[in-house]
Amino acid sequence: MPLDSSIPAHLRCPRTRHRRVSDSWKPPYPAFSAKVDPTVEQLVMAYFGVQSKGEATHGKACAAFQKIRDSLQLADGPARHDIVQFVDAEGFLNLIVVAYWQDPKAHQNWNNSPEVAGWWASDDRLNEGVGYFREILSPRMEQFETIFTHDYGPFEGVSILFGNMSEPIFEHGYWGSMRDRLPVSQNDTMEPSGKLTVTQGQPQAGGRVIISGHQNLTLIRSGEDWSRTQGEERRTWYEDIEPVLHQGMNFLRDDGLEVGCYVNRYCHHIDENGKPLEKGFGVSLWNSLAHLEHWGESHPTHLQIFVTFMRNVNKFKDLTLYHEVSVFDASNQYFEYINCHPKTGLLRAV
Amino acid sequence: MPLDSSIPAHLRCPRTRHRRVSDSWKPPYPAFSAKVDPTVEQLVMAYFGVQSKGEATHGKACAAFQKIRDSLQLADGPARHDIVQFVDAEGFLNLIVVAYWQDPKAHQNWNNSPEVAGWWASDDRLNEGVGYFREILSPRMEQFETIFTHDYGPFEGVSILFGNMSEPIFEHGYWGSMRDRLPVSQNDTMEPSGKLTVTQGQPQAGGRVIISGHQNLTLIRSGEDWSRTQGEERRTWYEDIEPVLHQGMNFLRDDGLEVGCYVNRYCHHIDENGKPLEKGFGVSLWNSLAHLEHWGESHPTHLQIFVTFMRNVNKFKDLTLYHEVSVFDASNQYFEYINCHPKTGLLRAV
């Protein structure tokens, strides 16, 4: 059977740019992309966070986080969301809701509602002993791609909303395939332009800081679910893969700026009661897709992840991996930090 | 200063295919290409080998090898040559002359001279208790590229003949740059077509076997010179790099066919008296440039070489690395094996 293209049929168009590999390319193993309905034109992916440090403020953080979670239930709230946590390099606990909409209008209605807009705008948020942030990004479907190791569920990320998976895809198994999966790559190099700009506040001073992004800023959420692994596969995950992945995630967290990574969070899913689940993801923002490519292809921290994985690839059956990658128009990005320490999110990068 | 292109000015032409990276690409460290005179249109690279096993035949092998070396001195002989040795997986010693011409006409005159043509054609070669082979390949300059870590000599391979080195080049430091350095990549994917064909003899039977190649068969000679390294750099070469490189070379030697590598020889230079020098190279023939790319980019044996090198890159100052890569028209390849064991060269691949 011929391979499917990761680029959905309705987004294929005459090309001025070719894929990296020739048409005779045969991927060495199958992979899949989430298949979106043609009626979906743009997504909204919002990362809402509560930041705190120490036992004493944990209760406050949980209460604040619950406020955010409650707001998801309001009219036009997200179609789905994940709850995750991440302890950053400064030792702060970051509780994060990752919320997704397939309808930007619905997000706009929700985001502009007095309950949501008013709550975030209130000066009360400056005086609750915890930090807050929201990072809201809206890729057009031409600017979005996914890859999955399995074509059965449960899927992850925004793809759960799509409800369908492609046949085995052509564009994977080679460096550059991430770019080739993005429909916009048919005619665009996705070069970055502009730069991160503080539009309100002072990152070093705390308080409320709003940052505007730039053309073709790039996000990757790259995740793994080891909940179904057993025996040798499970041992390999815990002893051989995860420690190396962790090192790579820490490099990006601490030294990512030198390779064009603005921020990286190595998150673990938690359930409604805060209990860790056996799945997680790294989510990072980059100056450009090219920077993300270059790190992935050449930096020892990532290559070691890749080599370790490739060495063990035959052991994997139930470990599921996926990623979602987006590039964004400058106008489709919003970053706000309230009472956060100056190494939070994009604050460290401006 | 703007970067130089690895593609010589006289071979640049309007493109139908773009480089993998955008024009804003900045290599993380400098590298250089040998700069050829525009009057050179085609090279000839010839690998002449003598194969033997065991102490008892060593004298015979040396005498036979001397005959080949003597023939280089005939009129229109090669402009330069290297002498190397390689012990193959079957335990045979292969003494090899690598000879280069910048003028195919001169090679033709030499090769067709009675002394050379007659010697190779003689049935005496079948009865001397050693094996012989010659692999003669002639890339057009559009089909040839080099990369060097240093812009000072002594250079290696055919590039010594060119006598000049480029300024720091644009096309390196990313997967795909090898392809982008080949002038023909401006308008051609270099897809292979046809297949290796035995045109005379039977590989399993020994005796004389002639094999014809196919369109876009690919050769890489990838070398290293550690003779000037000292102290920690020298220790790193011997203890951290060479063992990993050796493993990768052995993989290609033994199991290369599964990744599209017909033959790999990990050769060490020797001087006029057979004494090993502190430099060597792997030379391999591939079904296509794409197969070579794919192995380099994804196979654990090569990635481990690459990761180990990148981890130690700051330690290197005097270790010099280079490669020369060619793709060939089907008509510009000639492979002949006389009395060689059936795993020699392309014999193992047909």
| B120 min Cα distance to partner chain A (Å) | 39
Interface test with A, best of B297, B299, B302, B315 (most A CBs within 10 A): B297
Q: What is the pLDDT of residue B289?
A: 98
Report yes or no: B132 and B64 within 8 Å, Cβ to Cβ: yes
Residue B172 annotated among the catalytic residues of the structure:
no
Report yes or no: B84 and B272 within 8 Å, Cβ to Cβ: no
- Active centre residues of A (catalytic): 323
Q: Which of B18, B25, B297 sits opposite A175 (nearest CB)?
A: B297
Q: What is the pLDDT of residue B154?
A: 64
Q: What are the pLDDT digits (tens) for A189-198?
A: 999 999 999 9
Average confidence score pLDDT of chain A: 95
Lowest mean pLDDT among A38-52, B165-179, B295-309: B295-309
| A58 min Cα distance to partner chain B (Å) | 40
Span B143-153+168-193+213-329 CATH architecture: 2-Layer Sandwich (3.30)
What's the helix, strand, coil split of chain A in %, to 5? 35, 30, 35
- Structure tokens, B114: 């009675």
Angstrom distance (rounded) from CA A171 to CA A7: 9
Give the mean model confidence (pLDDT) for residues A162-184: 96
User: Is residue A152's pLDDT more than 90?
Assistant: no
| A291 class by beta-carbon count within 10 Å (0-12 exposed, 13-18 middle, 19+ buried) | middle
Angstrom distance (rounded) from CA B217 to CA B273: 34
Confidence of residue A154 (pLDDT cuts 50, 70, 90): low
| A271 class by beta-carbon count within 10 Å (0-12 exposed, 13-18 middle, 19+ buried) | exposed
Q: Which of A21, A25, A306 sits opposite B303 (nearest CB)?
A: A306
Lowest mean pLDDT among A1-5, A109-113, B47-51, B254-258: A1-5
Q: What is the CATH number of domain A44-139+195-209+334-349?
A: 3.30.70.100
Percentage with pLDDT > 70 across chain B: 99
Q: Which of A17, A174, A304 sits opposite B18 (nearest CB)?
A: A17
Average confidence score pLDDT of chain B: 95
* Nearest residue to B48 via CA among B345, B350, B348: B345
- Are the Cβ atoms of B290 and A22 closer than 8 angstroms? yes
Q: What is the pLDDT of residue B316?
A: 87
Angstrom distance (rounded) from CA B39 to CA B184: 17
| A111 min Cα distance to partner chain B (Å) | 37
The CATH 3.30.70.100 domain(s) of chain A lie at 44-139+195-209+334-349, 143-153+168-193+213-329
- The phi and psi torsions of A100 (rounded to 5 degrees) equal -125, 140
| B251 min Cα distance to partner chain A (Å) | 14
Residues of A in contact with B327 (CB under 8 A): none
Angstrom distance (rounded) from CA B68 to CA B272: 13
Which residue's structure tokens are 């959420």?
A221
| A65 min Cα distance to partner chain B (Å) | 41
Q: What is the pLDDT of residue B312?
A: 82
**Sequence-ordered list of residues with C-beta below 8 angstroms from that of B209, at least 6 positions apart, any chain:** B198, B200, B201, B202, B203, B336, B337, B338, B340, B347
Q: What is the β-pairing status of strands A261-270 and A276-286?
A: antiparallel
Please give the residue of chain A at the shortest CA–CA distance from B302.
Answer: A307
Residues of B in contact with A306 (CB under 8 A): 303
Catalytic residue among B107, B269, B302, B323: B323
- Structure tokens, A306: 């890749």
Print burial letters for A308-344: b (CB count within 10 Å at least 16), e (below 16).
bbbbbeebbeebbbbbbbbbbbeebbbbbbbbbbebb
Report yes or no: A237 and A279 within 8 Å, Cβ to Cβ: no
Report yes or no: A185 and A286 within 8 Å, Cβ to Cβ: no
Interface test with A, best of B19, B24, B29, B175 (most A CBs within 10 A): B175
3-state secondary structure of B21: coil
Give the mean model confidence (pLDDT) for residues B212-222: 98
Residues of A in contact with B20 (CB under 8 A): 20, 176
Give the mean model confidence (pLDDT) for residues B222-226: 96
Angstrom distance (rounded) from CA A145 to CA A6: 8
Q: What is the pLDDT of residue A125?
A: 97
Element containing residue A324 per DSSP (H, E): strand A320-328
Confidence of residue B155 (pLDDT cuts 50, 70, 90): confident
The CA-CA-CA angle for residues B255, B258, B263, to 5°, reads: 55
Q: What is the pLDDT of residue B300?
A: 86
Interface test with B, best of A16, A298, A314 (most B CBs within 10 A): A298
Task: Report ipTM (2 d.p.).
Answer: 0.91
What's the helix, strand, coil split of chain B in %, to 5? 35, 30, 35
Angstrom distance (rounded) from CA B33 to CA A5: 37
Residues of A in contact with B306 (CB under 8 A): 303
Q: What are the pLDDT digits (tens) for B71-127?
A: 999 999 999 999 999 999 999 999 999 999 999 999 999 999 999 999 999 999 999
Partners of A279 in beta bridges: A225
- Are the Cβ atoms of A303 and B298 closer than 8 angstroms? no
Rounded (10°) CA dihedral A112, A115, A119, A122? 80
Element containing residue A34 per DSSP (H, E): strand A34-35
* Nearest residue to B326 via CA among B108, B171, B157: B157
- Are the Cβ atoms of B191 and A24 closer than 8 angstroms? yes
| A108 class by beta-carbon count within 10 Å (0-12 exposed, 13-18 middle, 19+ buried) | middle
